[in-house]
Structure 1
């Protein structure tokens, strides 16, 4: 079964304190669910329609594992902490074989 990648890009951040509260909870929740953080932070460059906002890339053993991580109580708590603090785009994609 191919690995999967959870990619989150932030379109905008309206409340940095809420994003910090989210990150404090989400990191451990996603790691506990089997995620490995490969990259997180501001882009070095952005092209075409890209934005210079926070991006996160997390590897999971499978799409099912990434979906299961999203639904854990610990990650759902992180989402509640984030609330309306950011406009984000979260995608889960399967690795190329």
Structure 2
């Protein structure tokens, strides 16, 4: 079965809101079977963008299936976590900044 992924790009978020979101989102993602593969920049970390790249917070989370990724996003626990994000960003993230992907065949 193909794996499912969340790829999230977060614009600048205050430390307080990020902490509130992380406190709720982390357990919700884990309960939904998600595993954080990458979080850039990590707290206090730095990012250098090349070739028109972005320096915003990027998170990659893997699930065992696409359906599991969708179910985790739609879960009551994760929806509560989204409330911690700023209102204008919260409205935008699910549609424009968050992508749910299904894993395809691996390239060699």
Give the alignment's TM-score, normalised by structure 1: 0.85
Secondary structure of the corresponding residue to residue 81 of structure 1: coil
How far is the alpha carbon of 1:82 from its aligned partner? 1.3
For the pair 1:96 / 2:104, whether they are aligned, the reply is: yes
Evaluate the alpha carbon distance shift between residue 84 and residue 76 of structure 1 in structure 2; reply closer, same or farther with a 3 A threshold.
same
Moved more, 75-84 or 37-46: 37-46
The equivalent of 2:87 in structure 1 is: 84
- What's the CA shift string for 1:21-79, capped at 9, x where partnerless? 11111011001100011111317442333211111110001111000000111000000
**TM superposition score normalised by structure 2:** 0.77
Which structure features the higher share of strand residues? 1
How many correspondences in the alignment?
A: 96
Determine if the alignment matches structure 1 residue 67 to structure 2 residue 66.
no
CA distance change for structure 1 residues 67 and 80 in 2, over 3 Å: closer, same or farther?
Answer: same
Gaps of 5+ in 1: none
CA RMSD of aligned residues (A): 2.0
> Structure 2 unaligned runs (5+)?
none
Provide the C-alpha distance between the structure 1 equivalents of 2:52 and 2:64, rounded to a whole number of angstroms. 30
